[in-house]
Amino acid sequence: MKWKKYTITTTTDAEDLVSYMLTELGVEGVQIEDNIQLSEQDTKAMFVDILPELSPDDGIGKVSFFLESDADGVRYPEGIDGEDVLRQRILEGLEELKAFADVGSCELTTDETEDKDWINNWKQYFRPFAVGDIVIKPTWEEVPDGMKGGMVVDIDPGIAFGTGSHETTQLVIKQMVKYVTQKTQLLDVGTGSGILSVIGLKLGAAHVMATDLDSNAIIATRENMEANGISDSLYEVIEGNIIDDEKIRNYVGYGRYDVVTANILADIIIPLLSVIAAHMKPGAVIITSGIIDMKEEAVKAAFAANDSFEIIETTYQGEWVSITARRVK
């Protein structure tokens, strides 16, 4: 199978903003290329011994994504019916971002590639790394020396889901360590690779209910549960939209959950707040992330407009925000 590659030339400061914009357009997964050197803290967390030799950082970043291309043509994201519309939406999105950051030249180029050119290339960059005392590693690598005996999470995200190394996921993990107990009933909305569900159970949660819109996420979550030796009896993962599908909401159950995790887009978190409180126990917490800093106030305003919640903590990492709130009524 061939893939069409789209590349946006931007600045390193705007990489996350551009990636976020593409995600909002329905693009699943991006590739970022730049010459930013890893810091000493990064190399220790990722157990990297030999760093790639990079040219001096010139402030330029390239954000790429891939769309399937077959005999019937390119498969565009939902709601985008062709090349011209995709380009127009991207250019409009970049224009809006200029109010928040220097987005550079915004040159948009295209290319074609075969599976073999890129489908496994990302694996060379997914190395074991630590979030606090939790070591997250790819299933195909061994536990790093000096970390054996601690909590180890094995993840194979495939090409469609995150490895857990992104700031948004790390923010949620740090909050989960604070709130998950052996009695926790956990609801993971938008589970993706299932990494938060796996970590919740590794932290001792009694049971996890996970949801996602993508059928591939259901498969990935089950595979990652198995890779971590987690019994089927401890979790359930279902495909569906908890926001607007009453059957899914009824199946998930009401007043059941002590902790809810939602590492998704800000524009999905906002409507989620109108329905999710009903699924939580009084006093339960919801940990939200995937919020780019320019959307922080909009999410906080949505919490403030909903008298079911009070915000108890806001944490930051890079350009990303996590908001933790408690159900008060």
Measured between alpha carbons, how far is 155 from 137 in angstroms, rounded to an integer? 6
Nearest to 230 by CA among 195, 191, 187: 195
Contact 65, 22 (CB under 8 A): yes
Q: What is the pTM of this model?
A: 0.75
Q: What is the 3-state secondary structure (H, E, C) of 105-121?
A: CCEEEEEEEEHHHHCCH
Q: In what order do the strands lie in the sheet with 309-317?
A: 235-239, 207-212, 185-189, 257-263, 280-292, 320-327, 309-317
pLDDT in tens, the chain (329 residues): 688 999 999 999 999 999 999 989 999 878 888 877 655 555 444 444 444 555 677 889 999 998 988 878 888 998 999 999 999 999 999 999 998 889 999 999 998 877 655 555 555 556 677 788 888 888 888 877 766 767 889 988 765 555 555 788 899 999 999 999 999 999 999 998 899 999 999 999 999 999 999 888 899 899 999 999 999 999 999 999 999 999 999 999 999 999 999 999 899 999 999 999 999 999 999 999 999 999 999 999 999 999 999 999 999 998 899 999 999 98
Q: Name residue, tokens 């993706």.
A: 192
183 token code pair: 């009695």
Tell me the per-residue pLDDT of 26-75, one tens digit each, with 9 for 90 and over. 998 788 888 776 555 554 444 444 445 556 778 899 999 989 888 788 88
Question: Could you tell me the CA-to-CA distances from 33 to 26, 129, 262, 287, 311 in Å, in that order?
Answer: 21, 20, 27, 30, 36
Contact 311, 324 (CB under 8 A): yes
Q: What are phi and psi of 168, to 5 degrees?
A: -60, -40
Tell me the per-residue pLDDT of 155-164, one tens digit each, with 9 for 90 and over. 887 655 555 5
